[in-house]
Structure 1
Amino acid sequence: MLGTLHPMAVTALLLGVDGGGTGCRARLTDLEGQVWGEGAAGPANIRFGLKESFASVMRATDACLEQAGLSLADTDIVACLALAGASEPTHLAAARTYNLPFSHTLITTDAHAACIGAHGGRNGGIIIVGTGSVGWGIVAGREHRVGGWGFPVSDEGSGAWIGCEAARRVLWAYDGRIPWTGLLKRILARFDGDPHAIVRWMGQAQPRDFGVLAPLVVEYSARDDAVACELMRGAANHIDGMASRLAALGVTRLALSGGLAASMERWLSPQTRERLVTPEGDALSGALQLARLEAKAMAQSLLAAQNG
């Protein structure tokens, strides 16, 4: 339930943002965790453009503030922006120099925040299976990453990977190399039956565009479509590989998140499923937890400086 307060009463608020390849979500709370506003906007993967990503962040933030009856001028906001693409040092460095209107901004990866949210900041790991894919683990204060280097060279098992492989098999079927299935016919129909349209689309498509085909694969896998089932098994095999590597790094508790997580779980190996736990929270709650820790550290630093 969203709270309401008089703007003049606000001294500090926390903003958490979870930004991915398909969209971003934001939540505004006070220091005690009461929610004042929530918002959503478009993609916020900084690998595909800081301007677009931060425009999405600000649209989602504006929605939060509108619900709370506030403006940026009314508040001191400590923000944690958990963004896809922020694991790449160059993109992260550029993002940190971007002029944002918050009192203090912490930028981290969506995977890091998701792992914090899933395990309440305790040891554990997470595999995100959404537009992209990545494994993240926290063991004894150390962070470990597996995959998530960016589509098409990485992010195996993700929605983008599944969509790309589905489009590939449409062309194989058109060549006569594999039999047509209901899934492949459905995808070709989206391109008006023209394989050249697939090639033209592919040259401009971003990961989220490939990811649009993934729900079709999930749908047809439930109908035992041979190609759809093959793709889901292949995707699960990649997720199993990430899980195995995280286990080798000492991760014993593993959560799944992302838009394809629920659909993927039944395709995973028994060994992976045995390690799965229900996430306590998501990347948004993890971002808010990190923002809260940042605000407390800032307050303690200020107090120490005053006393010194």
Structure 2
Amino acid sequence: MEITIEEFSELLDNKYIIVEAFREHSKASEKYIDVTFVQKDGYTWKGSIPYFYRRTGLFIETANDLVDYLNEIYPHFTKNEIEKFQATEKKRWNDEMSGKKTTKGFFDKLLDLDWNSVKYDLPNNPNWARRIQDIKEFGYTLATDTRRTVKGKYETDTHILLVPLPKGGVTGYEVMSPAFKAKAIAVMESINVYEFSKANKHGLLPDHKFPEIRWDEETRAENPDEMPEKEIKEKFQLVDNQRNQQKREVCRKCFQTGKRGTLYGINFFYQGNENWPDDIPKVGKDAEKGCVGCGWYDIQKWRESLNQFIEENK
């Protein structure tokens, strides 16, 4: 968003919303605006508001849209609304989420709605990032500051803030039951498409061809156990966890840079080239058209197309 804080504040024209900075958490492809909401009774809330946040399908790209969004959410930051949010979510986690003890420990601390240091404030857990991701997938809005000064110390640390906005719903990006996973693996004959082999059947994952980072609220996926075999083959491919993580990183870089990834280091695309098409949106259902032709999107089709290209150009 090419606009200065001064220009944005002038455009916002709201003395009750004080804008301090724009920030970006590049690894998670999240963007924030640091603000202070001042209510007419003097109550204030200070923190970071995500405006590019795929877990709740929020993708604001213009200053005018961000102005509208800040004005829209402003009423959620009164003392009464914040206390209501805390009471509601405390009850929800005690009644419905008590089985998720590890993640609950993180959520309980974050419910103080303050910036919490990963090292000093949150529960001591080497896999803390997984717990934070879980909370996001339950529909909550979290802000991250990777270089925030720790209170009372001369050092910085990653801090997490729970933003008291309405919960987006316990959906996550992919809802995949054990039964569906087993069915998908069977339908695709336990073939690791990256290795083109059945040699190692353990640890295979149904990988959604259309990457999650480009989904929006309308394209979140639920995968019913009764999904037809044809649809499974159209939507998924089998890879192991290592390749699944590698693909996520490739797709994240593509999302951020507009440069599509290569498979095995081979600069071949069966449709288009390395550049994300200018006429294709970055997110949403139509964004899938921009993935077509990339090796990571459909590894088997890419392999077949490359072999055909080699055969025709001998």
* TM-score, reference length from structure 1: 0.24
Which has the greater radius of gyration? 2
Structure with greater contact order relative to length (CA < 8 Å, sep ≥ 6): 1
* TM-score, reference length from structure 2: 0.24
